[in-house]
Each structure stands twice: as structure tokens, then as C-alpha cells.
Amino acid sequence: MSAPESDSSQPKAMRSTAEVRALLEAIPYCQFLGITVEDGSDGGIVSRMRFGEQIIGNAALPAIHGGAIGAFLETAAIVEVLRISPAGGALPKPVDLTIAYLRSARAVDTLARTIVTKHGRRVVNVRVEAWQDDPARPIATAQGHFLVARDDA
Amino acid sequence: MGAVSNSPEAPSLIDAVAERKELLIAYVPHAQALGFKVVDAKPGEAWLKVPFDAKLVGNPATGVIHGGVITTLLDNCAGVAVATALPELRSIATLDLRIDYMKPATPGLDVVGYTRCYKVTRHIAFVHGAAYHEDPDDPIATTAMTFMLGANKAPPGAAFGVNAR
């Protein structure tokens, strides 16, 4: 998955990975989950949830809690919306999210990328994909809508 | 299977934990790290609570907790509802989770999750639920989920501290 070409309805100004990282570092729950961002190989942004004992859901497997994966997918969507939004706006608000759990999330780091499917004036539609070792073997995907406040709206 | 299902009439998970309903989430490290509490559980129904904590905040400008906290509360709550709906211990795994956010949680307030497993087939369990502060009719979020039964190799009772040798 890669970032879509910017269209005319989309603001030109984008946040850098460092700027998005600074925003994430101010969010307590993202810090608790161990979520950070890095540059993707395709010029986009990749979210990472570092494995930690505090996100284990099933200690016998062991596997990461489905809720932590859901929170990570939601955060990865917010990260991408922030990246393509001009600085100064409020955080995007989740409206709905549908998560498909494809494989058990093992006790290692999890990565995620987001495609903005449609960037409307008020609502953004996103698709998120999360994987661990192999991007071709996703562990979970999500699709959802976020409310955004646009200065030009 | 162990003590639980060896008896002539195997007690359900809810009987196995009896009055110690906190055992239903005691062996889930993430639920413990988030401070989840079992409010109540009946066969096929569960109520969990997440006490407000500063570490749950998802928007530092407003103090509203992260949507992922609600997702996690409802996912775990639904897992308990499915487990208590089943006649025997089986491993369960979330297959699909849809969440709709109606309004932001109020900063400083605890959030209650309620889930009901309304249908179990051979391989799949179906759950509806909602998260709210005080009034179930004024939800913060609603959810619809499906769970896969017997989906992994984890000992079926391990997630609930029940020995199933």
C-alpha cells in the first residue's frame, strides 16, 4: 500500500514524519501502547507498535490483545490523516472502524500503513493494513471513517 | 479436559469461577494493565469497566480517552460473553469487530462495556454490545463482532485461569 497521489481537494502542506512523531509523543495512550512512526520505503509513513508485556492478551500463545491491535490500527489511520493535514488542526475523530483479524498477533513488533481512500471536506475514509514480519501476510486490516476539521471548509 | 469438564455434568465457565468473577479477566495481562474490572457476568452476557486514568487519554487537548480503549474494553467484554455462552471451554479469537463512536467519553469518568453473545454456531459466535458511562441508552459507542471458536492452539481454559489438561 502506498500513499495516494494528492488531488486538488487536498491541502498541499503536509506534516513531516518528525512532526507526526512529536504529536504522537504527546498522546498518553499511544505512549502506553508503545506506538511510534517512521519513514516508509515508499515515501509514506509507517506506524510501529513495539511489543511489550503490557499488550499481551493471551499469555499462553502468547498473542497481542485484539483490542491493542484495534487501537493501533485506529492510531495508524490518525497518523496518516495527520500527515496529509496542515499543522494546527484538531486530531481527527473516529466515526466508525471495522477491523478484520486475519492472523494471531505474535509477541513481536507490529507495523501498519494507511491508504486514504477518500478525503472529503468533513469525513476521511481510510484503509489500514497491519503486519509483523512480512507485509504480504497481514495480521489485521481495518476500514473506517474519521471526522476532520478543515480550515477551508 | 481437567476438573471442570470431568464431572458428570460439566459446570459452565460461569459456575467454575462462581463468585470470583474477577477471574474472568485476571489472566489477561493487557486487561490488567488497563485496570479493567468485571462488573458482572451471566451466561452469554458480560459487563466490564475501565476506570478513568490519565494514561488512557487519546487527545491531550480535550482529555478524552483514546477510541482504542473502548475497542479493547468491548473486545475483552465480548470474549467473556462468548466464553460464558459456550457449554464447554473452547479457545476463542476475534474475527471481526465493527465499532461506531457516538460521542466522546467524558474526561474523568469510568466507562462500562456491555456485550451479549446472541448466537453461537459450530464455528462462529455473534456479539452485540455498547460502551457507556451510566445510561446504556446513551452510548459512547456500539459494536458488532464475530468470534471464531476453536481457532488456536491455546489451552481453552488458560485465558480464564481454568485448568484444562
Does 3.30.2310.20 match the CATH number of domain A17-147? no
First-to-last C-alpha distance (Å) of chain B: 5
Give the model confidence (pLDDT) of A32-69 as tens digits.
Answer: 999 999 999 888 999 999 999 999 999 988 999 999 99
> Cβ separation of A101 and B94 shorter than 8 Å?
yes
pLDDT exceeds cutoff 60 at B142:
yes
Residue B104 in domain: yes
Residue ranges for chain A with pLDDT beneath 70: 1-12, 150-153
Residue of B nearest to A94 (CA): B101
Q: In 3D, which of A130, A64, A57, A58 has the Cα closest to residue A99?
A: A130
The arithmetic mean of pLDDT across residues B129-156, rounded, is 92
Residue B26 in domain: yes
Q: What is the pLDDT of residue B143?
A: 98
Residue B165 in domain: no
Residue B71 in domain: yes
Residue B60 in domain: yes
Q: What is the pLDDT of residue A151?
A: 52
Which ipTM did the prediction report? 0.90
Mean pLDDT for chain A overall: 90
Q: Which residue has the higher pLDDT, A90 or B128?
A: B128
Give the model confidence (pLDDT) of B47-92 as tens digits.
Answer: 999 999 999 999 999 999 999 999 999 999 999 999 999 988 888 9
List the domain boundaries for chain A.
Answer: 17-147
Contact A81, A74 (CB under 8 A): no
Report the number of distinct structural domains present in chain B. 1
The arithmetic mean of pLDDT across residues B40-46, rounded, is 95
Q: Which domain holds residue B112?
A: 3-160
CATH number of domain containing B99: 3.10.129.10
Closest CB from A26, A60, A66 relative to B155: A60
Interface-testing mutation among A78, A91, A98, A99, with chain B (most B C-beta atoms within 10 A): A99
Residues in Cβ contact with A94 at an 8 Å cutoff, skipping those fewer than 6 apart: A74, A77, A78, A144, A145, A146, B67, B101
Residue of A nearest to B72 (CA): A67
Q: What is the pLDDT of residue B17?
A: 79
Contact B90, B32 (CB under 8 A): no
Establish if B67 touches chain A: CB-CB under 8 angstroms. Answer: yes
